[in-house]
Amino acid sequence: MSVKNPPDQLRRRLVLGSIAGASTAALWTLAAGARHSESRAADAQRVSPSEPLALALGYTENAMKVDKSKFPTYMPGQACDTCRFFQGKAGQAYGPCQIFMGKEVNINGWCASYAKKP
């Protein structure tokens, strides 16, 4: 003879199963988001000084090496990390730049588009 589960017990199992399933789905979603962020960071492209736009703007990864005869607007102390177009975070060696369409530039770099942060 089989014993039937009362409706309350079935309802309880259903609710607990739903909660467990939702929790598992949420954890998987968070883990996938973290992996996606890590892969985006790893895939970020850095600006090459030999790219056409970089050449036109005199981009260099070391502001102290700016050719002052070609770019007389350069002033000592100017660098990407103090430029308004730089979007990197403190402590990073490279960060995104609006001028170079989101590609990463060296914080010690410089280009002719330099504009001091307000």
Q: Which of 102, 108, 117, 97 is nearest to 66 (CA)?
A: 108
**Could you list the residue range(s) of the whole structural domain that residue 64 is in?**
45-118
Give dist(CA 36, CA 108) in Å, integer: 28
Q: Are residues 4 and 61 in the same domain?
A: no
Give this prediction's pTM: 0.63
- What kind and span of H or E run contains 96? strand 94-96
39, amino acid identity? S
The total of structural domains in the chain comes to 2
Q: Are residues 106 and 56 in the same domain?
A: yes
φ, ψ of residue 96 to 5 degrees: the values are -65, 150
pLDDT digits (tens, 9 = 90+) for 5-14: 666 776 777 6
pLDDT digits (tens, 9 = 90+) for 66-96: 999 999 999 999 999 999 999 998 889 999 9
Q: What local confidence, expressed as pLDDT, does residue 85 receive?
A: 97
Q: What local confidence, expressed as pLDDT, does residue 27 receive?
A: 59
The secondary structure of residue 79, as a DSSP letter, is: -
Q: Are residues 112 and 61 in the same domain?
A: yes
What is the DSSP track for 9-23?
HHHHHHHHHHHHHHH
